[in-house]
Structure 1
Amino acid sequence: MRDEVGFFNFSIYKIISKEQSYLDQARIRLLYYGFFLVFVASGVLFVSVYFQGQHLLAYTAGLLMFSVAVLFKTLTYRPKWQAISHALLVIGTLINISIVYVSLQSINVVTLQVVIVVIVFSYYMLGQTWGLVYSLLNTVPILIFLLIEYQGSYVIGIKPDKIDQATIIISLFASFILLIFIHNHFYTSFLKNIKQLKESGEEQAVLNLKLEKAIEKAEKSTRAKSDFLSTMSHEIRTPLNAVIGMSNLLMMDSPRPEQKENLEILRFSANNLLAIVNDVLDFNKIESGKLVFENIRFNLVELMDNVCGGQMLNAEEKGLEFKLAIDDRLKNKVFFGDPTRITQIIFNLVSNAIKFTHKGSVWVKVTCLEDRHNWVTVKFSVMDTGIGIKETNLRSILEPFTQGSLAATREYGGTGLGLAIVKRLLDLQGREIQIFSKIGEGSEFLFNMEFPVSTERPAKKVDEPTEKTPENFLASLKVLIAEDNVVNVMLMKKLLSKWGIIPTIAENGERAVEFMQYGNFDIILMDLQMPVMNGFDATNEIRKMADPKKANVPIIALTASAMAEIKDKVYEAGMNGYVSKPFKPDDLIEKIQSLTILN
């Protein structure tokens, strides 16, 4: 219905619109044209009964004419068809009762026709519930009147009117016209409604087909994005592996002080670039719904010490005071959860705090809020005395690729993904992060997490020797490296030479299989993306060898891809371990030692 309708409007086209359903349009038309028919019919009846001296019926007809005129004007000025329908039905019900109990004091074909018109009109206009209500309001009084007449004569102090045959004919004619008009009008609207539903169904089918194609296209786009990120991950991390690896090797060669400073800058920059790549990959993994949370045992106190230990050095380099406070009630508990994701959350929050704080301090607090024997609620808080965040930006900084301001982005750099990853990781676990901040005074990031805990006391750590195996054991290992990148080959040779290992190099997976067929090796370092034959296929071929010793040789996957599904494929292919490039030398040698000792 249109909003702007003048008081002197009489046009139906100004009170209906295409936005309305066919049924609602039909109801408004029925009221509009029905008022005209009722007004004419009641006018004819008024003339007929007035000149016969039937004053009660004349008053009733006149009241109906006046009511119809008022309701018609209301419809054309304020077209609220439901309220108007109720008003008309209430008036019709009252008139019907007054005719039976006062004007005629009897029931005849005229009163029955009025009841039928009211019932039909109420169902079509207002639906089943109100149709039933008005049907009962009109039929029950008539049934009561019949019972009264059956028990004895109905007598009141008002003389009833008598209607002649002409008045009956006029009333019946008007009633039939109204009933025919109502049925014909709504039958037509129902046919249009069915046609509209059919057309809507056909349009819906076309839209569904388009939607399926759009979904298929989106899925292809998502797969393409994932493949692109995997490829870019490999292409970026491969040279990074060489840069970081060579930096580590040079640092192990006791460089001069000025060389050491340059190498530290080089390694720091390479690690920063690696962190950006990892952030992009992690965020993509979360957004694609491929992230799965682990539920393993871990020591929360040790975890926090390890996460904050490295960050403490970064804070001290900036001249900041770094404090880590852990509730004593958490120190003798074994937690169950995903330590990797907790590390990621705390690391990002602490890194941000240090990055955006020029002077003052950074505090990390871990507090036990509630201890329910086998469940613990822990509050994590990271506070700083940094630049602070505007109140208007408190929500937006949690969105991806967003920082507090353009100036902050230029001054501090970064992808703006750290806090977005934190928010997504907490959202996936049903947790919410709270932020309190004042410009120039600092910020505080808070969140709570619930952990199941073991009722057993954690075993005390036993100090292990730093060297698990003698150096001559490492030097005696026969290592096969399947790697096609020349720089990585040179890096691996130099790195392994530090432990006295002289490896054999296979430039692709097919050559690695050939080496295994004609030689014996203690362990294989297998790149995954290689020409001729990739690392997965090469591993499958090796696992099929007849010689059990060769078939069961330990294989460590070395790959620059950081996609989650790659790790699963590694173990499905039968490999024994996984080291992501760029790797720390200690991580690689520890993996080699653990697998060769077990073997």
Structure 2
Amino acid sequence: MNRDVGFFNFSVNKILTREQTILDQARIRLLYYGLWLAIIAVSALVVNIYLDHQYLLAFTTLILLVSFIILFKYLTFRPRWGIISHILLVMATMVNLTNVFITLQTVDIITAQIVLLIIIFSFYMLGQASGMFYSLMNLIPVLLFLILEYDNNYVIGIKPMTIDESTIIIAVCANFILIIFMHSHFYTAFIKSMKQLRATAEERGNLNVELEKVIEKAEKSAQAKSEFLSIMSHEIRTPLNAVIGMGNLLMMGNPRPDQRDNLDILKFSANNLLALVNDVLDFNKIEAGKVVFENIKFKIPDLMQNVCGGLRLKAEEKELEFRVSIDSSLKNKVVIGDPTRLTQIIFNLISNAIKFTPSGNVWVNVKCVEDRHNIVNVNFSVKDTGIGIEKESLATIFEPFTQESISTTRQYGGTGLGLAIVKRLLELQGLHMEVQSTLGEGSEFSFDMEFPVSTEVAPAPEENDQPVSVATPIDSMSQLRVLIAEDNMVNVMLMKKLFSKWGITPTIAENGERAIEMVQYGNFDIILMDLQMPVLNGFDAATEIRKMRDPRKANIPIIALTASALFDIKERVFNSGMNDYVSKPFKPDELKEKIQNLVATIS
């Protein structure tokens, strides 16, 4: 409703607003112009009936005229078309039934027109329910009157009035004009609504096209981001591979104590940089929804000892008291879960505790909260006496690339992704992290996780156990014929020096195409295949090798070596026919173990 409309307004445009639908605007216009026509027609009837000396009928018609004028004024001041429509229909029904049963005591063309007007008007203005109501309110009494009149049973003590031809002509013409006007008006509104619906549909179609373009652009952007991270990780990991690899080689060469100290610093710094790169890549992988949780059997105490073993040295370097408490009831239980992701969560929490604790203690507590035989509920808690967190910052510490303050980032370093990764990994498993912290006193991070319990009995660990290789003995590694497909000269030099420690002299292929040629004309026991190479990449080279006619050559074990971090890298490796995957920078022992296992399997 337009609240700026004054009482003396007579314009229809001022009572129409943009908030009104096309149908509502059509209803208001119909009332506006229809009342104008009704006022003109009834005014003519009043004059004609008065001149015909039918004063009672003229007075009744005059009351009707005044009612129309009042309703018209009400409409132009407050366009409540619903109320006005009901009043008009009630008035028309009273006039119709009064004419049929009292005034004229007959059903003529005027009566039929009035009934038709009421039916059309009620349905158009008020909808089906009200239309049916007013239609039946007029049709049933009229039909009843016709039945009574047919049997000559309708008799009342009032003599019917007679109307001259001129009055009938005026009434019939006015009614026909109103019927035609209503149909024409609503037909125009219907056509306009259809055009608007078509325009809306076209606009929606255009919006859908634009939305598809935006979605496509977002997907391309996400793909570009993924590829960018993969390329950047490859570019960063490649020199890191050389740095860490050379450091490992130097450590294997029995360095002097002062050299070992320098190498320890080099190794620590390189591993720190690698951890930062891995944090960014892991977070990107989690955000892209590419994390798949495994269900592997493992022992929680063993996992905790492995995680805490390396971190204990970190704590001791800062002269922190590092305590690990593991519930004894978990000692002989083999649980099913994802040890890799659990390790990532625990490692990040303990690393943070050590990082943000200048002095004091770090406690790691693993407690069995509930044991239902086939399922155990375990609480993991990491507590420290570190710098603590302000209450206002508790909501933001789990956001990516966020630390409590800029000064914290400058003093302690890091990407601010550790807790974000922890939170996302827990949320993906439907778990929640509890945080209690007091500024200057320390923090405690804890969460509960349920594990199905395996029915297998865990073997008792033997002291001074040495890993037993199920593959080829190490002494026989010198007999292996190894082909390395690698285009980076630094990595080639590293691999040569590493393999020389194992008594192996590898053959080098500078790209995938050259590797295929060497396999065709030579004999090898295993291939180490870099994935990103010029001329022909590792995927295509492996695929071509698997197509060779000689089954011995086609089945040569192939290990993928890459610094790439694309989400689907493992799937692509196995789909191309390669047997295993090692990510750069790799651990020499890990690579050696995989080589031994694959060679032993094939032989």
TM-score over 0.5 for the alignment? yes
Report sequence identity in percent. 58
Kindly state the Cα deviation for residue 561 of structure 1 after the two structures are TM-superposed. Answer: 1.1
Q: Which residue of 2 is the match for residue 88 of structure 1?
A: 84
Contact 1:104–1:160 at 8 Å: present in 2 too? no
What's the counterpart of residue 263 of structure 1?
263
1:572-587 to structure 2, matched below 5 A, reads 572-587=575-590
2:76 aligns with one of 64, 69, 72: 72
Moved more, 322-331 or 192-201: 322-331
Q: Classify the secondary structure of the residue corresponding to 2:529.
A: strand
- AA aligned to 2:70 is F
2:383 aligned with 1:415, yes or no?
A: no
- Cα pair distance change 1:530/1:105, threshold 3 Å: same
1:595 aligned to 2:598?
yes
For residues 284 and 218 of structure 1, what CA distance do their matches in structure 2 show?
Answer: 15
Distance 2:289 2:296 in 1: 21
Larger Rg: 2
TM-score (norm 2): 0.82
Cα RMSD (Å): 3.9
1:405–1:543 CA distance, 2 compared to 1 (3 A)? same
| Number of the residue aligned with 2:499 | 496
Counterparts in 2 of 1:382 and 1:169: CA distance versus 1, 3 Å? farther
Q: What are the Cα deviations for residues 436-472 of structure 1, in whole angstroms up to 9, with x where unaligned?
A: 5554454454555555x25513431554523537542
What SS does the aligned partner of 1:53 have? helix
| Cα displacement (A) at 1:243 | 1.0
Single out whichever of 554-563 and 211-220 deviates more from structure 2. 211-220
**1:541 Cα deviation after fit:** 4.3
- Mapping 1:92-103, distance limit 5 Å: 92-99=88-95
Match of 1:352 in 2: 352
| Aligned match of 1:131 | 128
Counterpart Cα distance in 1 of 2:229 and 2:286: 14
**Which digits, 9 at most, give the CA deviation of each residue in 1:455-502, with x for residues without a partner?**
513431554523537542334433332322222122223323333434
Out of 563, 567, 570, the residue aligned to residue 567 of structure 1 is 570
1:242 Cα offset (Å): 0.8
Are the counterparts in 2 of residues 315 and 321 from structure 1 also a CA contact under 8 Å? yes
> Could you list the per-position Cα deviations for residues 529-550 of structure 1 after superposition, in whole angstroms to 9, with x for gaps in the alignment?
2334433343344444555444
Gaps of 5+ in 2: none
Look up the equivalent residue of 2:455 and give its one-letter code.
E
In the aligned structure 2, how far is the partner of 1:450 from the partner of 1:3? 63
* Alpha-carbon distance in 2 for matches of 1:525, 1:85: 83
**SS of residue matched to 2:136:** helix
> Using a 3 Å threshold, how does the CA distance of structure 1 residues 99 and 23 change in structure 2: closer, same or farther?
closer
Q: Which moved more, 1:31-40 or 1:576-585?
A: 31-40
- Do 1:104 and 1:162's aligned partners in 2 also have CA atoms closer than 8 Å? no
CA distance in 2, matches of 1:357, 1:459: 36
Is residue 431–residue 447 contact of structure 1 (8 Å, CA) maintained in 2?
Answer: yes
Go from structure 1 to structure 2 and tell me whether the alpha carbon gap of 1:261 and 1:124 turns closer, same or farther (over 3 Å shift): farther
Distance 1:196 1:447 in 2: 57
How big is the shift at 1:246?
Answer: 1.7
Task: Find the residue that maps to 2:348 and give its secondary structure.
Answer: helix
- Name the structure 2 match of 1:508: 511
Distance 2:7 2:354 in 1: 69
TM-score by length of 1: 0.82
Equivalent position to 1:474, from 470, 473, 477: 477
Query: 2: CA distance between counterparts of 1:392 and 1:6?
Result: 55
- Partners of 2:219 and 2:68 lie apart in 1 by 66
1:189-246 alpha-carbon deviations (Å, 9 max, x no partner): 2222323333344444444444444444444444333333222221110000011112
The C-alpha deviation readout for 1:24-72, integer Å capped at 9, x for no partner, is 4333433443444445556666777787224566545544543443243
How far did residue 88 of structure 1 move?
2.0
The code of the aligned residue for 2:55 comes to Q
Number of equivalenced pairs:
586
Report the Cα distance in structure 2 between the residues aligned to 1:470 and 1:573, rounded to whole angstroms. 29
* Residue correspondence of structure 1 range 402-481 to structure 2 within 5 A: 402-433=402-433, 435=435, 437-445=437-445, 447-451=447-451, 453-454=452-453, 456-461=455-460, 463=462, 464-466=465-467, 468=469, 471-481=474-484
Q: Deviations over 1:544-581 (max 9, x none)?
A: 45554444332222111122322222222222221100
Residues 202 and 457 of structure 1: CA distance in aligned 2, closer, same or farther (over 3 Å): same
Question: 1: CA distance between counterparts of 2:436 and 2:333?
Answer: 30
The one-letter amino acid of 1:310's match is G
- Whole-Å separation in 2 of the counterparts to 1:160 and 1:365: 106
* 2:527–2:557 Cα contact (<8 Å) kept: yes
Match of 2:299 in 1: 299
Query: How far 1:267 moved relative to its partner?
Result: 1.9
**Matched residues in 1 for 2:119 and 2:349: separation?**
70
Cα 1:266–1:11 change in 2 (3 A) is farther
Matching residue of 1:119: 119
Contact 1:435 1:445 in 2 (8 A): yes
In the aligned structure 1, how far is the partner of 2:589 from the partner of 2:454?
34
Structure 1 residues without counterparts, runs of 5 or longer: 76-83
CA distance in 1, matches of 2:167, 2:365: 94
* Correspondences of 1:116-265 after superposition (within 5 Å): 116-126=116-126, 130-140=127-137, 142-143=139-140, 147=144, 162=161, 164-165=163-164, 169-265=169-265
CA distance in 1, matches of 2:111, 2:377: 75
Q: Whole-Å Cα distance in 1 between the matches of residues 155 and 320 of structure 2?
A: 103
